[in-house]
Each structure stands twice: as C-alpha cells, then as structure tokens.
Amino acid sequence: MIDTDPGVDDALAILLALASPDSLCVEGLSIALGNGKDIRSLGSNAKLLLRLANASVPVSLGEVPSEGDPSEGAVVSRKGMKPQLVHGADHLGNVGKLYGKCDADYQHFHPLPAPEFMYDLCSRFPGEMTVVCIGSLHNLAKCLESHPDLPKLVREVVVMGGAYGERRGNRTPCAEANFFDGPEAAQAVLTADFPKIVLAGLDITHQTDMRVLRQACVESPAPLSQFVWDLCENFMNVYHDWGETLAPAHDTVPIMYLLRPDLFEGQEVRVEVETQGCLTRGMSIADWKGQWGKAANCVVLRRILDPDAYTQSFVDAIGRLPRSD
C-alpha cells in the first residue's frame, strides 16, 4: 500500500506503481497531509490519478494530527524570495481540472481511516505487505500506536524521507519535509523493529530529474505522456526560480526501488530523528561510524547505479497506462 500526500512527485510515483501490476499489486492508497492543507483535496488527486490509469484501488483518508498542521510544506521560500506553492494550488501542478478532476473525486472514500485501513490490509496479507510512505509518517505511526503487533505483519517499509549526506534539508537547513512534518512519527516508525526499513533521502532523490523523465515520456507514444509533461511544469518552474539545476522526482525513488532493486546501492546503518532541537527538529541522523553502539535499523539508499535505466524503466511504465483491466 502507498501512504501519500498526492502532489506532483507523488503522482509520478503512484502512476509508476499502477503501471507495473506484474511486479506490484497496489492494494490501497492512504492519504496523509503534507503537500496540501485539505485531506479531501489530496484524496481527490488520488482519485483522479486512479481514473487516468484505469485502476480500481481503495483510497482512505488519514487523520489530521491533533498538534499543529503539518501541511505547510506546500508553501516554501528560499533566500528571502516570495513563498511559492511547490505543487500548485491544487497540489497537482494546477492541471487537475484540465484532466477531469470533478466533485465526485472528493467523495466515496474507504470507510476506515488510514491507520485502521493500513492495519486491516496488513492483517489480511500477513508477511506480504510492503508499506510505501511518500508523505509524512503520521498514519503509519498512528497505526503502530494502536496496533503494536504491526511490525510482525509487514514485509518491509519503504520511506521517502530524511537526508543522510551533503543535502541536509529542504524544509529547513537540516530537515527534509516529510520528517520535519512529523519528527515524532518518523522516530516512532524508525525505531519500531519492522523487519526491514528502506530509506530514500534527499541525497538519492536528487539523483533523479523530473525534466529528464518528462522529456523522455513526451518523446514516447504513451497516452499519458502529455499529462506527465503538464503535471511537472509548475514544480519545475519553482525549482528553476530557486536556482536549482534540476527538479528531483523524489517520490518515484521508493517505487523504482521495489521494481528495480538492481539499480540501487544501499548501506545498513542506524538512523534516528531529532524531535527536540530548536535548530535541528526533524533532522535525520545516520550513525555511519557506529558511535551510538546501536544495531542498524535501516537500509539507506546511497546511489542510483544506472540513471539511464532508471529513466527507461519509468518511460516504459508510463507507456503501459492506462491499464486495460
């Protein structure tokens, strides 16, 4: 199942997963706050993506955390510049209505809230479920709090979150957005004794480039190539305004890891998340030197071994959409 706050890179990740039914069976989408302030609006984005892909997957809405609003990640400022909506006003690159988003997309979600929906799925498929988290970790942490046996039911957890090398943060100088939006939730998940946790931080997500992916798609005959092109425009423009040389397709990395683990180099290490620091709240700390003396709890993805194969795998997947089933 994919726990997501459907913004632009989330959309690319969801399409990538839905396009690969021979490798991944997506049993459900759960919605977390992060790229937007309205949980139903984010859920409606998921509904639109499912319709574009001709896929039938239940969508469950997450619970809004009681302490604060973690959704301010939708608005980011750099170097004193005017704050910008990275994912657009609709959190989908401002192209939702153009591609048929409608009032019905805001309705008929799964009756269970996301944490219980997670547990229900994992209970029905014990030892088989991979939980992919590409937003804040509130839903998974809440599920864990209510059901301490959850780690015994899950095959692995794959997370887009944190930063473990030179790129310390994108929300603050030291914190990546998904972990900053819920440091306590991230810390709870990372220390919960899941059988396997794989982390894709900013260091590896910045080895992808949305510009390259969308150009390769539009040069192919894929029916959804124009959607991918339009979807990415606002996101890329914001990164360009910031002076960045690329626009990372962050959330595609966890899904691509599941599809093509051969494309990645990773390293086992102990990772925890700072929850208290006035300057470092949300910072992900990897104990590369073993100074804590604690056992490794995560595999941190460090390098994409073949960027061209990554791009081709993405393009091939998009070319299989919409699905015929």
Closest among 201, 199, 204, 188 to 156, alpha carbons compared:
199
Q: What is the 3-state secondary structure (H, E, C) of 257-321?
A: HHHCHHHEEEEEECEEECCCCCCCCCCEEECCCCCCCCCCCEEEEEEECCHHHHHHHHHHHHCCC
Question: Omega before 322 cis (within 30°)?
Answer: yes
- Please spell the DSSP secondary structure of 145-186, one letter per residue: HH-TTHHHHEEEEEEE----SS---SSSSS--HHHHT-HHHH
Is 250 marked active-site?
Answer: yes
Element (DSSP H or E) covering residue 30 = strand 29-31
| Catalytically annotated residue among 91, 110, 138, 250 | 250
Place of tokens 């899950």: 154
Structure tokens at 239: 């990164």
Distance, in Å, from the CA atom of 58 to the CA atom of 56, rounded to the nearest integer, reads: 7
Structure tokens at 45: 């984005």
Place of tokens 């071994």: 305
Phi, psi of 59 (to 5 degrees): -120, 125
Structure tokens at 164: 């473990």
Distance, in Å, from the CA atom of 92 to the CA atom of 46, rounded to the nearest integer, reads: 10
Element (DSSP H or E) covering residue 313 = helix 307-318
Q: Which amino acid is at 3?
A: D
Q: Among all residues, which ones are annotated catalytic?
A: 250
